[in-house]
Structure 1
Amino acid sequence: MLRNGTDSDTYYGVTSAEHEERSKSLKAGGYRVRSLSVFGAPPNVKYAAVWSKAEGAEFETIASADEVTFNSWYESWKNKGYVSTHVSATGPVGSAVFAGVMEQADISERLKCGMDTPYAYANATMGLNMLVKGVSVYGSPTNRRYCIVGHENIGNRKQSTYYQTDTVVFDYEKTYSAEIQKRFWRPTYLDVTNDHLVSSLFEDTSVGKWESKVGLTESQLKAEVEAQAKKGLSLLQLQGGGNGDDVVYTAIFAEHTTPLSQNWNANGKVVGFEDNDAVTSALDATMRNWMEWNGIRQAQVAIAREGNLLGERAFTLAESDRAVVQPTDKMLLGSVSKMFTHAATQRLIDDGLLNLTTTVYPLLGYKPSDERANNITVEHLVHHTAGYDRAVSGDIGFMFREVARSKNSSSPQTLRDMIEYMVDRPLDFTPGDGGYAYSNFGTMLLSYVVTNLTGTPYVEFLKERVLTGGLEAELFATAAEKHVNDPVVQETRYTNFSPLFPQEEVLVPNTAGGDGDIKEEAVGSFGLRASASTIARFIGKNAVWTIGGRDWMNSRDGSVSGARSYARSEGQENYDWAVILNSRDFTSDEQWSSLVYTALPDIWAANKIVEA
C-alpha cells in the first residue's frame, strides 16, 4: 500500500524487495527516512516507512540483514563518522532480520542490539546522558531481545521510556493517560511487537497539534492517514507488528515534522545596584547558560533588602506554545514552604497561644502509643529533633496512598488521618536527645496546630496574619486538571499511582500526587507556590530556616517533583535572595550547587547595592 504526497511518501505492508526498490528511488529523489519498521516472520517480512523530502546530511540504509551483516554494516559506517538514526528488527532470536539508517553527524551515539533486557542499555552508554531515539523489540514472547539507539542528550531533554518485557508489561492506555496529563508531553515513538505489545517513548517537545493511534489494521491506517491529512497532520512515526491478517500498526501524526525551537525571554527590573545594567546582564547570561545546559524552561530570581526589592527577573527558555513566565507568577516551592509555617507558629507565640516548650500532642488531645511522643514540643518540630526519621520509617509526607491502603480505605487521607497514623507508631529516636532527622511530618503537624488553635484553615491564616505588605502565596493543588492553564508548568518526567484513588491503579504525574503526596494536606511542609520576589521580601523579616525574625546567614533548599527552590539571607550587607525553577530534573546536584553556591552569589558580591 502506497500513500504518496509532494513532500512525503508513506508505504506499509510491502515486501523486502518493494521496500529496497522504493528506498533507492526516494533517496535519489531527495527524500530522507522519517520512520522505519520491519515486522513479521522471516523470511517473509514486511516493511513500513515514512519518507520526507528535505535537505540533510549524507545517509545510508540497510534492510533484511541478518545480525552479523547488520553489525558489520553498522561498525563500518560508524568508523566513517556516521551515527544510527533508525533501527528495527523482527523474527526469532536466532534468525532475526534487521533494518536501519545511519547518517553523517558529529554527535555521540550508542546503538545496542541483542539485549535480553532493555535496562542493559544503560551499561552501553558509558555514563552519557542519552536521549533514546528508537527501540525495537523482537524475538518471541518468552525470549525477547531489544535494539535501542540513543544520541547524547545535549540540553537535557526530558523523556519517559516504557519497554515491554516478560516480567514488566505496561498497560499502554493507562501509561498514555498518565503521560499526557503532564502538560505538553506526547508520544514520540511507539514500537509494536509481533504479539502486539507497545513499547513507548514520551517527550515534552512541541510539534503543534498531534494525535497518536495504536492497534490499527491496514484499512484503518489508510483511513486514518487520509483523515489526519485533512486536519493538516502528517505521519511522524509508523510501526508495524504481527503476521498475515494479524498485522497492526501504531502511528503518530503531527502538525510539524520537527520539534519547535525554544525562545529566550528575560523580564523584570533590577533597580537597587550601582550598575543595574551590569547585574541584569550577568543574571541573564548566567541563567540562560544554566537553563540551556540543564533543560529548564522557566525560572525566577529575586533579591531584596529589609523586604524591599532590589531586583527581580523571570526567565523563559521554551517553545512558542508555552507562556512567558513573569516575576509575579507563582511557582511551586517545595520545602521553602516550611518557612511560612514557622512564621505562622511565631504569630501564635506572639499571641500567647503557644511557646517553644509547648508539648504538641497533649495540646491536640492525642495520646501517642509511644509515651516519648508526649514530650514532643514546638521547638522539637521546628528543629527536626522530634524523633521522626524518614530514613528509618519513611517520609509520611509521601505516604498518603500507603497509609490509606494499610487501612483498606478507599478515601484520600487527610492530615488528621496521617497524624492519627503516626500517633500509633513508635518514634525513631527520643525527642531532644541530640538526634536530628529532617522531617516533613514535623511541619505538617505544626500546620495542623495552627488550624486547630485558631479555627482558621491554614492557608487562610497565612493570608490573614503572615502574608502582609502585598506578599502572595497559595496552595499548589494536587490534581493535574487544576493546572491546565497555569503560566508556570511544573515539569517532571515521572508518573506513579495516585493517592487520591488509593485502592485503584490510577497513574498520574508525580506533580499530581504520583510521588505519594496530597499537597492540600501537606501544604505546610512543601505544598505552597509563590514568586521568588515574595520569598526574597518575606525572609527580610522572617526566619528562612528557624523561627522568628530574619535568619542572618542562613538558607533553605526546596525540592519536590516539578520544582527546585532556594532562599538565603546573607550577612554583611543584610540582603536576601531566592531562585525558583519549574523542575528538579536537571543534569546533576553539582549543577544546582554551582548555581546557588557560586554563580548567583558571585553576581551579588561583585556589584554594589545602593538601594532602590
Structure 2
Amino acid sequence: MNRVEDSYLFCRRDFLGALGAIGLLALTRSDAWTGSMETSEFLSSFISFDLEIQKFMQARNIPGAALAVVKDQRLVCARGYGWADRESKIPVKPTSLFRIASITKPFTAVAALKLIEERKLSLEARAFDVLASGPDTLHPNGEKLDERWKLITIRQLLQHTGGWDRDKSFDPMFRSRQIAKELGIASPPAPRDIIRYMLGQPLDFDPGARYAYSNFGYCVLGRVIEKIAGMSYERFVQNNVLAPIGIKRMRIGASPEHKRAAGEVRYYMPHDEMAESVFDSSPSIPRARSETRNSTAGNPRPTPPVEGSVASESHSQFPSREGSGAGSARGTRKTEKQVPWPYGGFCLESMDAHGGWIASAVDLARFAAALHDPERCPLLKPETFRTMHAPPQPPVSRNQDSSLKDHYYGCGWLVRPVGKEGRANYWHTGSLPGTYTLLVRRWDGVSWAVLFNQRSDDDKLPDSEIDPALHRAANAVTEWPKLDLFPQYR
C-alpha cells in the first residue's frame, strides 16, 4: 500500500481529540472522516477547513464530501469527509470521483481556446457556420430559422451572451422527453438532436445584447469542438487539456447507477426524491454516449452570481440551482417510470460539454494549479490566458454609467476584480440533483475544490453558503505548509 493510501485514513477518535485539545467544536455524527494527514502542523493548519465543512455537511445531512487546497501551485491539503457510499460504509477519499456538473464549463472553455490558439477557430467565428459545413449539416426541425442564430459567435457561446435565456423560455438540456417526442425519436435525445430541435425555436434576445447563463450554449460549443477537432469532445479534452497536466481519471459520467465508474461516489437526494425517467428503457447505454461520449452539464441552474446578491470581494458568488426544470417530478413511491432523481431523471451523457464530467477534488486542484500563473501556464499562452478572464464586450456586464460591474462571466469563469492592481478571484460552481461543487482560484495563490454527493433543497440552507465559509477558512490559516502532495496522487 503506497503512502497516500496509508495516510488518507484519519481516525475519528484522533480528530476528535485534536478538536478537544484546542477547544473547538466536536463531531456529533458517525460520519467517517478521511484525508491526507501528514503532520500535526498540517492538521492544525487546516482545522478551519475541517470545521467549516463539517458544519456545512451536518446542517444539511450531506453524506460525503472531498476537499483539495492549493497554495502557490502546491497541493497542501487533500481530504475526504463522510461516506462515498452510505449504505456500504465506504468512506470518501481525496481521489473519489464526483459529478462536477457545471465546473465542466471551464474545461470546455480551455479546450475551445486551445483550438483558437492553433488558429483552427476564432472567437468571432459564427458557430453555426462552423456546424453547417460538411456532410453532417444541422438543420431546423421543419421550422423557420430565426435569422439571428446565424450571428452567434464562439465568444458569445463562451460568455453566455448567445441569445438563450432559460428564465424567459426553458433549458432544453432538461427537456429530454418533450424534445424526443416532438422530434419523433427515442428518449433521451443526443446533443445534436437537441440542437436540431432548438434551431426551430426563436432566440430570447439578440446575440451579444446581454448575459444569460446557458447550458445549451456550451452544448453547442462542445459540438463545435468536435467538428473542428475531428474527434469526440471527451477525447479532445482528455488529450489536450487533461493529459498535459497529469489528470488521468476524468471522464464523462454515466446516468445509470450501475454504470458508476470505479471509485465514483453514490449520489443522494435529501428526501430520496424520485423523478420520471428520461429513458424510454432502462438507462443502460444512452444513445448520446455511443455517438460522441459527450456530456455537458444540465446543471441545477448554475447562473453566475445574481445581480444585487451579497458578496464581498473575498467571496465567489454562486449561480443558482439547476436540474429542477421540466421533466423532473418529485414523488414518494417508485413506479415503473420513476427512478432516483440522480440516476435517470436527466441524461448526464447529453450534458457532456456543459456538465457531464466526473473528477476528484485532486483533479480539480491540478487544473487550478495549472492556471495559477499566465506566464507559466502549461495549457494556454499568456495572451489567451488573459482573454479567458477578460470581460464581455459592452453593454454586457456594465452598470448604467458604463463602468464594469463588480463581477462578470469571462470565458468559462466567473470573475471578480479585487482592488485596482489587476487582481481577481475566479470561480465556478456546479449543481445537479445529487451533487454540488465549487472550484475557486483566488488572487493570492490559494485555490480550492470542494465536492459534495448531495445538494440541498432547503432555501434556508443554500449550498452557496459553502463559498464564504471556505473563504473564512482560508483566511484563518496563519502559516501555509511548505509540502506538496501532488506527487503522491499520480
Q: Is the 8 A contact 1:568 1:576 kept in 2?
A: yes
Q: TM-score, normalised by structure 2?
A: 0.65
Matched, 1:600 2:366: no
Secondary structure of the 2:168 match is helix
Task: For residue 300 of structure 1, report the CA deviation from its aligned partner.
Answer: 0.9
Identity, in percent, stands at 28
Deviations 1:321-358 (A, max 9, x none): 22111101111111111111111111111211111111
Secondary structure of the 1:393 match is coil
Q: Is the 8 A contact 1:356 1:379 kept in 2?
A: yes
CA distance in 2, matches of 1:445, 1:525: 9
Give the structure 2 partner of residue 384 of structure 1.
160
CA distance in 1, matches of 2:343, 2:278: 9
User: How many residues of Structure 1 are paired with residues of Structure 2 in the alignment?
Assistant: 346
Q: TM-score, normalised by structure 1?
A: 0.53
The one-letter amino acid of 1:547's match is: C
Give the structure 2 partner of residue 327 of structure 1.
94
The one-letter amino acid of 1:458's match is: Y
The one-letter amino acid of 1:498's match is: S
Task: For residue 446 of structure 1, report the CA deviation from its aligned partner.
Answer: 0.7
Secondary structure of the 2:224 match is helix
The answer for unaligned runs of 5 or more in structure 1 is 1-260
Task: For residue 479 of structure 1, report the CA deviation from its aligned partner.
Answer: 1.9
CA distance in 1, matches of 2:274, 2:476: 42
Task: For residue 586 of structure 1, report the CA deviation from its aligned partner.
Answer: 5.5
The one-letter amino acid of 1:456's match is: M
Structure of greater relative contact order (alpha carbons < 8 Å, 6+ residues apart):
2
1:197-212 to 2 correspondences below 5 Å: none
CA distance in 1, matches of 2:170, 2:460: 22
Matched, 1:394 2:146: no
Give the structure 2 partner of residue 491 of structure 1.
268
The answer for unaligned runs of 5 or more in structure 2 is 1-27, 133-137, 283-334, 372-387, 390-408, 416-423, 484-490
The one-letter amino acid of 1:495's match is: M
1:274-423 to 2 correspondences below 5 Å: 275-316=41-82, 321-365=88-132, 366=138, 369-423=145-199
CA distance in 1, matches of 2:338, 2:457: 23
Give the structure 2 partner of residue 438 of structure 1.
213
Q: Is the 8 A contact 1:561 1:584 kept in 2?
A: yes
Task: For residue 539 of structure 1, report the CA deviation from its aligned partner.
Answer: 2.3
Secondary structure of the 1:547 match is coil
Give the structure 2 partner of residue 113 of structure 1.
none
Q: Is the 8 A contact 2:183 2:197 kept in 1?
A: no
Q: Is the 8 A contact 1:367 1:374 kept in 2?
A: no
Q: Decide which of 261, 267, 285 is 2:34's aligned counterpart.
A: 267
1:134-283 to 2 correspondences below 5 Å: 263-269=30-36, 275-283=41-49
Give the structure 1 partner of residue 250 of structure 2.
473
Q: 1:392–1:601: structure 2 CA closer, same or farther, 3 Å change rule?
A: same
Task: For residue 502 of structure 1, report the CA deviation from its aligned partner.
Answer: 8.2
Secondary structure of the 1:539 match is helix
Task: For residue 484 of structure 1, report the CA deviation from its aligned partner.
Answer: 9.1
Secondary structure of the 2:370 match is coil
Matched, 1:512 2:343: yes
CA distance in 1, matches of 2:425, 2:122: 25
The one-letter amino acid of 1:510's match is: W
Q: 1:320–1:406: structure 2 CA closer, same or farther, 3 Å change rule?
A: closer
Q: 1:319–1:437: structure 2 CA closer, same or farther, 3 Å change rule?
A: closer
CA RMSD in angstroms comes to 2.8
Task: For residue 520 of structure 1, report the CA deviation from its aligned partner.
Answer: 1.3
Give the structure 2 partner of residue 59 of structure 1.
none
CA distance in 1, matches of 2:414, 2:168: 33
Task: For residue 384 of structure 1, report the CA deviation from its aligned partner.
Answer: 0.7
Secondary structure of the 1:384 match is coil
Q: Is the 8 A contact 1:359 1:376 kept in 2?
A: yes
CA distance in 1, matches of 2:264, 2:154: 37
Q: Greater CA radius of gyration, 1 or 2? A: 1
Task: For residue 576 of structure 1, report the CA deviation from its aligned partner.
Answer: 1.2
Deviations 1:242-289 (A, max 9, x none): xxxxxxxxxxxxxxxxxxx96332222367x99422233332233223
